[in-house]
Amino acid sequence: MHIAVKWVTFLAAASLVFYFAKYEFGPRKYPTKTLDGRCLYRPSAVAGILDQLGDSRAAYLEQETTIDLIFPMLYGLMFVSAIVGLTPGAGTPRWIVALPLITVMSDYTENATVIAMLKRYAAARAGQAVDLGVLPWFASAASGTKGITLLASTVAVVVLAVAWLVRR
């Protein structure tokens, strides 16, 4: 792929990531930090977090079924295009591109489990206990994996950029 196309793709994806972060997620205010805004949490904490969201659970469900289904593709494209563009000049293996791919898959797993849990809350009658089953375990594992691989993807891009500059 031509180098200009790689960097235009990266810049377009990065611009959209920053737009979403500032204008789509930024104005949303919840009474507590949402599940996808946390990295490592215990599965036993999930019910309490969802209870604390209270009436804003419907807005959170709307966010998860709209904005948060597009966002992982955008930051995944941003990281993948940066890694693919930097690896030849940095002299590093291309398998590093697996980091953002794992991040995106973890984010979608997290989104699916959060959507399922929020739908269970919506279907429950007032005052009725909600059985979340094993979903909190999947959400917790996916959130942790997403957070760790997102950090690793960011570090990889920075290290690749430095290596690319040094090798020039």
For residue 113, report the phi and psi dihedrals to the nearest 5 degrees.
-70, -40
Is it the case that residue 146 has pLDDT exceeding 60? yes
Is it the case that residue 110 has pLDDT exceeding 80? yes
Q: Which residues contact 41 (CB under 8 A, 6 or more apart)?
A: 35, 49, 140, 143
Q: DSSP assignment of the chain, as one string? A: --HHHHHHHHHHHHHHHHHIIIIIITT---SS--GGG-SS--GGGHHHHHHHHGGGHHHHHHHHHTHHHHHHHHHHHHHHHHHHHHHHHHT--GGGGHHHHHHHHHHHHHHHHHHHHHHHHHHSPTT-----TTHHHHHHHHHHHHHHHHHHHHHHHHHHHHHHHHH-
Work out the average pLDDT over 89-100. 87
Work out the average pLDDT over 91-95. 84
In 3D space, the residue among 165, 76, 72, 83 whose CA is nearest the CA of residue 110 turns out to be: 72
pLDDT by residue (tens digit) across 21-36? 888 887 788 999 999 8
**pTM to 2 decimals?**
0.89
User: Rounded distance, CA 140 to CA 24, Å?
Assistant: 24
- Whole domain around residue 131: which residue ranges? 3-167
Q: What percent of the chain clears pLDDT 70, i.e. is strictly above it?
A: 97
Q: How many domains does the chain have?
A: 1
